[in-house]
Structure 1
Amino acid sequence: MSSVLHFPPASPQQSVAYLQHKLSFYADAWDLAEDLAQGITQIMVIDARSREAYEAGHICGALSFPHRTMTAESTAALDRRTVYITYCDGIGCNGSTKAALRLAALGFQVKELIGGLDFWKRDGHPLTTGPQPGAWPQAATAAGCGC
């Protein structure tokens, strides 16, 4: 018997429901870069790493907000109509998950960036350094990942 088919596949309708649900939790680097390049204002990128890691290099426009510092008081100025995209170093780090959990528990809409900063850099998207968020470079565009 087939190892793959040992557990039968879901129906097409079940697959649609599951995959739509799954995509409601995640964003990938190409989609995020495209939105940032277009100046989409309904999202805000949150770097959940330490401030030192943030200053060494972060996604252009990302807000430094280490997950350990997220409380009702520290998030009071955040706009609840915004969708917050959290990231950390990459798949070996769960800082983005902890940040997304804290924000969601406080009533914010969240998504995690798949692969974090590692996948962002792998795809060749722009970074900035220092303590300020910086801005999306005018010359940078998201051409598409071909997927």
Structure 2
Amino acid sequence: MTNALRFPAATPEAAAAHFAADLAFEADPDDVHRDLQNGDTTGYVLVETRAPEAFAQARIPGAINLPYRDLPATLDLDPDLVYICYCESFQCNAATKGALALAQRGYRVKRLSGGITAWREAGYPIESDGLVTEGVSKVACHC
């Protein structure tokens, strides 16, 4: 028996349910970038969950900053929107912590796969102090 198939593959129905669930929790940087290029982010807001210092250094255009450590018990956010949280990378869990905090407050959330690192590595633009630049430099997480 091969190593890859030591554990049997799921049925197509179970696999479909599993991967649909994954997509319910994650947003892809490519999809978000296409939306930004088309000027249509209807239904969602990008949320930078890192510290304000990181937000000032580099952020995805149009994102708002809600540091997960500073989220108040009540927020004045639109309950009809989905909040797509991101942080530095797969090695940082500030987006997960921010998404959890927002979900606990009754908001619908997703996490942006790979954070701003994946965004930059794809060559998508970032904002810094109001300027749009190419995503090339690494920024400390400040989480």
Spell out the pairing of 1:84-123 with structure 2 (5 A cutoff).
84-123=83-122
Shift of 1:65: 0.9
Q: Does 1:30 align with 2:7?
A: no
Instruction: Give the secondary structure class of the aligned counterpart of 1:78.
Output: coil
Counterpart check, 1:10 vs 2:22: no
Q: Partners of 2:11 and 2:46 in 1: how far apart?
A: 35
Aligned mates of 1:49, 1:23 — CA distance in 2? 23
Separation in structure 1 between the aligned mates of residue 111 and residue 18 of structure 2, nearest angstrom? 17
Distance 2:29 2:69 in 1: 24
1:5 CA displacement: 1.2
Cα deviation per residue 1:77-134 (whole Å; 9 max; x = unaligned)? 100100000000001100000000000111100000000000000011111112x6x8
Normalising by structure 2, report the TM-score. 0.87
| Count of aligned pairs between the two proteins | 132
Partner of 2:136: none
SS at match of 1:24: helix
How far apart, in 2, do the equivalents of 1:70 and 1:37 lie? Answer: 30
Q: Which runs of 5+ in 2 are unaligned?
A: 134-143
C-alpha separation in 1, matches of 2:113 and 2:32: 10
Higher relative contact order (CA 8 A, sep 6+): 1
The aligned counterpart of 2:44 is 43
The structural deviation recorded for 1:68 is 0.7
**Off by >6 Å, runs of 4+ in structure 1:** none
What CA distance in whole angstroms lies between the structure 1 residues aligned with 2:73 and 2:36? 27
Question: Distance between the aligned counterparts of 2:87 and 2:41, measured in 1?
Answer: 21
Inter-partner Cα distance in structure 1 for 2:58 and 2:2: 47
SS of residue paired to 1:112:
strand
Post-superposition shift, 1:36?
2.1
Query: For residue 78 of structure 2, what is the aligned residue in structure 1?
Result: 79
Matched with 1:21 is: 21
SS at match of 1:59: coil
Partner residue, 2:141: none
